[in-house]
Chains A and B, each alone.
Chain A
Amino acid sequence: MNEVTAFWILAAIAVIGALFAVRKRNLVHGVFSLLVFFGGLAGLFLLLLAEFIAVVQILVYAGAVGILILFAIMLTDRVTGKDAFRITSRGSFWGGIIAVSVFLVLLLPTIQEIPQVDNPSNSAEIAKQSTVKALGKKLIHPYVITLEILALLLTAALIGAVTAAQGGRTTEKKMSIE
Chain B
Amino acid sequence: MTLTLHHFLILASILFCIGLLGALSRRNAIVVLFSVEIMLNAANLNFIAFWRFGNNPELLHGPLFTLFTIAVAAAEVALGLALVIAVYRHFRSVDLESLNTLKEE
Q: Hey, which bits of chain A sit against chain B, CB under 8 A?
A: 3-4, 7, 11, 14-15, 18-19, 21-23, 27, 30-31, 34, 37-38, 41, 44-45, 47-50, 52-53, 56-57, 60-61, 64-65, 68-69, 71-73, 75-78, 86-90, 92, 94-96, 98-100, 102-103, 106-107, 110-111, 114, 117, 119, 121, 123, 126, 131, 134-135, 138-139, 143, 146, 150, 153-154, 156-158, 160-162, 164-165, 167-169
Q: Which of A31, A44, A76, A102 contacts B85 (CB 8 A)?
A: A76
Most chain B CB inside 10 Å of its own CB: which residue of A19, A22, A64: A22
Cα A27 to Cα B66 with chains together (Å): 28
Most chain B CB inside 10 Å of its own CB: which residue of A27, A52, A72, A114: A72
Assess whether B25 is in contact with A96, with CB atoms less than 8 Å apart.
yes
Query: B101 at the A/B interface (Cβ < 8 Å)?
Result: no
B51-94 at interface with A (beta carbon < 8 Å): 51-55, 57-58, 60, 62-64, 66-68, 70-79, 81-86, 88-90, 92-94
Cα A68 to Cα B84 with chains together (Å): 12
Query: A4-B1, A119-B53 given. 9 additional CB < 8 A pairs?
Result: A22-B21, A53-B48, A96-B25, A103-B17, A107-B10, A131-B63, A135-B60, A153-B72, A161-B81
Assess whether A96 is in contact with B21, with CB atoms less than 8 Å apart.
yes
Q: A103-B14, A157-B75, A165-B86 are in contact. Are A60 and B70 (CB under 8 A)?
A: yes
Cα A41 to Cα B81 with chains together (Å): 23
Q: Which of B13, B16, B18, B86 contacts A22 (CB 8 A)?
A: B18
Residue of chain A at shortest CB distance from B13: A106
User: Which residues from B are CB-within-8-Å of A53?
Assistant: 44, 48, 63, 66-67, 70
Which size class do B's interface residues fall under? 35 or more
Q: Main secondary structure on chain A at its contact with chain B? A: helix
Assess whether B53 is in contact with A3, with CB atoms less than 8 Å apart.
no
Cα A27 to Cα B44 with chains together (Å): 25
Cα A15 to Cα B95 with chains together (Å): 26
User: Which residues from B are CB-within-8-Å of A52?
Assistant: 63
Most chain A CB inside 10 Å of its own CB: which residue of B17, B51, B72: B17
Residue of chain A at shortest CB distance from B88: A76
Assess whether B86 is in contact with A34, with CB atoms less than 8 Å apart.
no
12 contacts between A and B (CB under 8 A): A34-B38, A50-B66, A52-B63, A53-B66, A72-B30, A89-B97, A95-B21, A102-B16, A106-B17, A114-B5, A117-B54, A160-B79
